[in-house]
Structure 1
Amino acid sequence: MENDTANNEARTEIIAKVAFVLRQERATATYIESAVGKAGIDRELIIAVFGSMHGLILEMISELTDVLVRPLHRSQIHQTLRDVLIEFGGCVVDTHSTSHLVALYRIALTEATRHSGIGRKFFERGPGRLTTCLAQYLERISAEFNRCQIDNSMRLADAFLSLLGDNLELFNERASAGKGCVQNQDDAVIEAVDLFCRGILAEAQ
């Protein structure tokens, strides 16, 4: 029990230190080894705790995905589809904007060109799991509460995440050009959610 506690504490501390470095270098991060070194962590400790550098990358993306899908798992019966998607979309946008997620994506892409296998595992624990959890939520509300007709949950989940990303990119372009048609990122999320919900209702009719 003491060993498990110590190991969990080490995992938490390592992830926090590496995440801090990655947040500082989100636009330039390329190699996990570099981030670990700048965090002042010995390679041997990474191997002992995570099994490998790739193990650290996968653990970090799994932890971030846990945060992203939380609104889908804790949704309540009284919440509408729109309510849950606004909370979920806001979480996705905030995490992309403020966390080490972007840096992890950059590192994973680099690693995928160096080592086979890491790209697939990263996708399964990151964007793939995000899409699957959203699809499962859409299926659940359709089956349990009959709130809307869901015919292809994976297609709809992909469509929502793409729409969210496109709308956020458009928001950033407007903000950079000083053409603030939307006031903030929350408005961009709400706009994407409303477009998506209207699309579902149109298909159901």
Structure 2
Amino acid sequence: MTTTRGPGRPRDQAKGVAILDAGWALFLERGVGAVSIEAIAARAGVSKMTVYKHFTDKHALFEEAVLREMRAIKTMQIVQPTSQADDLKGALRAFGIGIMSYLATGAAVDFYNVLAGELRRHPDIARTFYDIGPGRTISNLASILAGAGDRLVIDDPIKAAEALFGLWQGASNFQLSLGVDAEGAGQAIAERVDYGIAIFMRAFSRPAP
């Protein structure tokens, strides 16, 4: 978290954002351990003392940068349950393409590849990130499925959401993380989402009366 300050001149918010941007970029490039305050200051175009005026150390900066990323992910997770057949498929498709496109971005891939180990050393923030990120994704997808009870036979929306998400993801996470046909994995998102929805609907659709 950021340092506290007594009465006096407010910190320059633009510099604070620049420091966060610089630190986040360097953490993704090198990992937290290999990044120094001096490097962050140089990337942000500020002095070392200016960095310390905003953050107690690089780990506090890392924590704030992760929290900022979580807030960005949270804004993506606004969905409305639906019970109409056509709207259901459309909602699932929009949700699937949205989240899978985000996970295919370089920043998301780098985050999991480079910074997952750092998060494990901060269990509280790791738990919070999971709850707001992957956990919220599954929960919101489950809410769509739970709102379609007239069309789907689902006894456990969370498990069903995990199954659908798995169909969407396939082996793409390995491809993206390892850089094996990463471009192809990104280009195939819509096709993979549509295929997953088709399989899911065949498995869970309520039989016609």
Name the TM-score, length of structure 2 as normaliser.
Answer: 0.65
Amino acid at match of 1:61: M
> Which amino acid in structure 2 is aligned with residue 57 of structure 1?
V
Q: Distance in 1 between matches of 2:92 and 2:18?
A: 32
Q: Which runs of 4+ in 1 moved over 4 A?
A: 9-19, 74-79, 169-173
Q: Of residues 145, 154, 158 in structure 1, which corresponds to 2:162?
A: 158
Measured after TM superposition, the shift of residue 77 of structure 1 is 6.0
Deviations 1:56-112 (A, max 9, x none): 212212312422x24x23879685221111111111121122252222333542223
* 1:181-196 → structure 2 map (5 Å cutoff): 184-196=188-200
Q: CA deviation at 1:119?
A: 2.0
Rounded to whole Å, the distance in 2 between the matches of 1:35 and 1:192 is: 44
Amino acid at match of 2:139: T
Structure 1 window deviating more from structure 2 (132-141 vs 107-116): it is 107-116
Q: Which runs of 5+ in 2 are unaligned?
A: 1-11
**2-side partners of 1:75 and 1:134: how far apart?**
11
Which of residues 80, 94, 109 in structure 2 aligns to 1:73? 80
What letter matches 2:75 in structure 1?
Answer: D
Letter in 1 for 2:31: T
Question: 1:34 aligns to what?
Answer: 35
Structure 1 Cα separation of the partners of residues 75 and 130 of structure 2: 14
Give the % identical residues: 19
Q: Which amino acid aligns with 2:72?
A: E
Aligned residues: 183
**Greater helix content:** 1
Report the alpha carbon displacement of residue 46 of structure 1 after superposing the two structures with TM: 4.5
Contact 1:139 1:153 in 2 (8 A): yes
Shift of 1:171: 8.7
Q: TM-score of the superposition, structure 1-length normalised?
A: 0.67
